[in-house]
Structure 1
């Protein structure tokens, strides 16, 4: 790369901290480093034009897990682990709201709902049966019942009589959130370079030699916040998972407000003003969607449209305005990986599809490892 003296001096000399990834985790990491080390030089490297992955591509759910997801987690993890994970997600949401403010986030506390398709009798019955127990174990955290059953007032079709309501869920504007975080990062004298992929790095007693798409430089510490793209970094402990999403054109007199979960959280929808955003369907093709490549598939998009027309908007005409995909980071455990990889290299990854909730806290924990 044709690098000038000025570029070397201002961007690539005496770099204290390099954060790889400018998503929710990466930006919170950098901001926390600035709080701890006010005079340090902090550089963020981002491989996309905008933050790649899921930070600018998610659905904007301020949630911590539906009732059926929590019940499923209790099958795989101890009660203590599940409660700790919910607490981290809840604390992360409060940290995000405190940093940016509800007005900036366009945070709306409409609550969250879980709906159950008619054919999903087993999950519906289990959720109703175990709801009192789940409320009891969450009471120390929320001081009241989290989940209650409500009769459907939205005129959905093909579902069971009761919805499960959670008043602690909300929704926010993902674009506003990331734009505000980027502005705050720049205001704190943190440098961001886009379209720079880290090809390799070498840790030594002199620091970390970082090789990117266009140049090589040395940083005292490197912190990876690459979530869905961290499979190589973590020896396979993080697997990419693609999520496909669509959004409708504005729908006159839309009477749906809230964050909604279907089929154990594999499908999710919400209103954005008078539009419906609808995503999910990864469970139709786990193997095919375990990819770090952005894209859409006919099988999943057709299922989203089927549920949209038959269940969510059965008597309402609509048009699809836009479709996209994002890449999440999953693994054999839902607990995020926040750890030191070598003397000067750290990572905060595997957000388990809960980046909005837990990303700010993971970023803070990652910075505090230094």
Structure 2
């Protein structure tokens, strides 16, 4: 029978805190924990070779929400105060991420964001109102009507364009690598290929027993506290917790370099269901899950013809009409969405905290959610 060695049992199989999930929320939680508690022994357990849910498979938007999204969120989140509170957390999270990692390490660029409108929309008539609400957070206009950019950028079929000057982009791979490097520099044990299959909070009074599937069969470690930061998969380890978190597949493609690409920055349209950005001279384009909402509620990270063909049509007709390019790569990632679109950080057991905050905004919310989760663990002792 396979058993732990003396050395493993003495030093490698127990921790003060185990963080499940090595994406932006998990790594941010671990780093905040070690900043608050330098003596803690912390492990991050990532099931993949690299974080492979959303953190390294997104579009790399450093954004707080487009005009139409924020106008919709006021209703979806139960009022202006709730919506603005989430925007504040997104802005604070981006600030914390940039401070922790540095813009250079993140590949961060602030060319500004934009929202395209193919027809009239109620939010276009609410720009002044939303700017007034966001002024205390941004100290300047969040949204500026810039229809003059439509022709300059070469778009077709676009009726209105709103610039979002405070929005930026980053390199998601560099972000993940930098967070991993910082974790190791702080003495955090990062284990990849570590699929946690169960949590036992009843057998031992002072710790949680985690079962991990490995190449040598199931193994277990003990942790004084556990943070579950697995995005759309939180329900696998914490069933019946009352959080209605559903998966949502995000499909993406990227073009070859486009000679003379006339725009830089990030772009949204159709209430955020479509999004694209410049990556050097390339265009990264994603979205389209509204074409099949039920079918895209999946963790299967395959691309589908119905979505990819629509992305190609929009590229040809709206974004890059008349330009030469080929599609170089296609992929999909898995996001998690809560019914109220708000982040959730809470105890589900005296020694287990769930940390969820994505709703398509993991880059922005990851650091804030990680900080909140770390504070809960620290307060629990």
Q: TM-score, normalised by structure 2?
A: 0.93
Match for residue 352 of structure 1 among 336, 349, 359: 359
The residue that corresponds to 2:198 in the other structure is 200
Does the alignment pair 1:337 with 2:333? no
Question: In structure 2, the residue corresponding to 1:49 is in which secondary structure?
Answer: coil
Question: In structure 1, the residue corresponding to 2:54 is in which secondary structure?
Answer: coil
The structural deviation recorded for 1:292 is: 1.4
Q: Report the Cα distance in structure 1 between the residues aligned to 2:372 and 2:243, rounded to whole angstroms.
A: 22
The residue that corresponds to 2:153 in the other structure is 154
Question: In structure 2, the residue corresponding to 1:347 is in which secondary structure?
Answer: strand
The structural deviation recorded for 1:143 is: 2.1
Q: Report the Cα distance in structure 2 between the residues aligned to 1:364 and 1:242, rounded to whole angstroms.
A: 27
Question: In structure 1, the residue corresponding to 2:264 is in which secondary structure?
Answer: coil
The residue that corresponds to 2:167 in the other structure is 169
Q: Report the Cα distance in structure 2 between the residues aligned to 1:11 and 1:331, rounded to whole angstroms.
A: 35
Matches within 5 A, 1:264-303: 264-303=271-310
The residue that corresponds to 1:73 in the other structure is 73
Matches within 5 A, 1:170-189: 170-189=168-187
Q: Report the Cα distance in structure 1 between the residues aligned to 2:243 and 2:74, rounded to whole angstroms.
A: 24
Q: TM-score, normalised by structure 1?
A: 0.95
The residue that corresponds to 1:64 in the other structure is 64
Q: Report the Cα distance in structure 2 between the residues aligned to 1:4 and 1:148, rounded to whole angstroms.
A: 63
The structural deviation recorded for 1:231 is: 3.0
Structure 2 unaligned segments of length 5 or more: list them: none
Alignment deviations for residues 334-358 of structure 1 (CA, whole Å, 9 cap, x no partner): 1111001111111101411100001
Answer whether contact 1:228 1:350 (CA < 8 A) is retained: no
Question: In structure 2, the residue corresponding to 1:183 is in which secondary structure?
Answer: helix
Answer whether contact 2:154 2:262 (CA < 8 A) is retained: no
The structural deviation recorded for 1:122 is: 4.0
Q: Report the Cα distance in structure 2 between the residues aligned to 1:206 and 1:71, rounded to whole angstroms.
A: 46
The residue that corresponds to 1:313 in the other structure is 320
The residue that corresponds to 2:34 in the other structure is 34
Paired positions, count: 363
The residue that corresponds to 1:143 in the other structure is 139
Answer whether contact 2:116 2:158 (CA < 8 A) is retained: yes
Answer whether contact 2:197 2:212 (CA < 8 A) is retained: yes
Question: In structure 2, the residue corresponding to 1:369 is in which secondary structure?
Answer: helix
The structural deviation recorded for 1:182 is: 0.3
The runs of 4+ residues in structure 1 deviating greater than 6 Å are: none
The residue that corresponds to 1:221 in the other structure is 225
Rate the CA distance shift 1:289–1:245 in 2: closer, same or farther, 3 A.
same
Does the alignment pair 1:240 with 2:247? yes
The structural deviation recorded for 1:2 is: 5.5
Q: Report the Cα distance in structure 1 between the residues aligned to 2:40 and 2:110, rounded to whole angstroms.
A: 38
Q: Report the Cα distance in structure 2 between the residues aligned to 1:364 and 1:149, rounded to whole angstroms.
A: 35
Over the aligned positions, Cα root-mean-square deviation in angstroms equals 1.3
Alignment deviations for residues 123-150 of structure 1 (CA, whole Å, 9 cap, x no partner): 2xx2221111111111122222211111
The residue that corresponds to 2:257 in the other structure is 250
Alignment deviations for residues 179-207 of structure 1 (CA, whole Å, 9 cap, x no partner): 01100101111111111111111113231
Q: Report the Cα distance in structure 2 between the residues aligned to 1:128 and 1:343, rounded to whole angstroms.
A: 46
Does the alignment pair 1:51 with 2:51? yes
Structure 1 unaligned segments of length 5 or more: list them: none
Does the alignment pair 1:133 with 2:133? no
Rate the CA distance shift 1:4–1:93 in 2: closer, same or farther, 3 A.
same
Q: Report the Cα distance in structure 2 between the residues aligned to 1:102 and 1:209, rounded to whole angstroms.
A: 38
Q: Report the Cα distance in structure 2 between the residues aligned to 1:187 and 1:194, rounded to whole angstroms.
A: 17
The residue that corresponds to 1:325 in the other structure is 332
Matches within 5 A, 1:95-114: 95-114=96-115
Answer whether contact 1:24 1:359 (CA < 8 A) is retained: yes
Answer whether contact 2:16 2:40 (CA < 8 A) is retained: yes
Question: In structure 1, the residue corresponding to 2:73 is in which secondary structure?
Answer: helix
Q: Report the Cα distance in structure 2 between the residues aligned to 1:99 and 1:212, rounded to whole angstroms.
A: 30
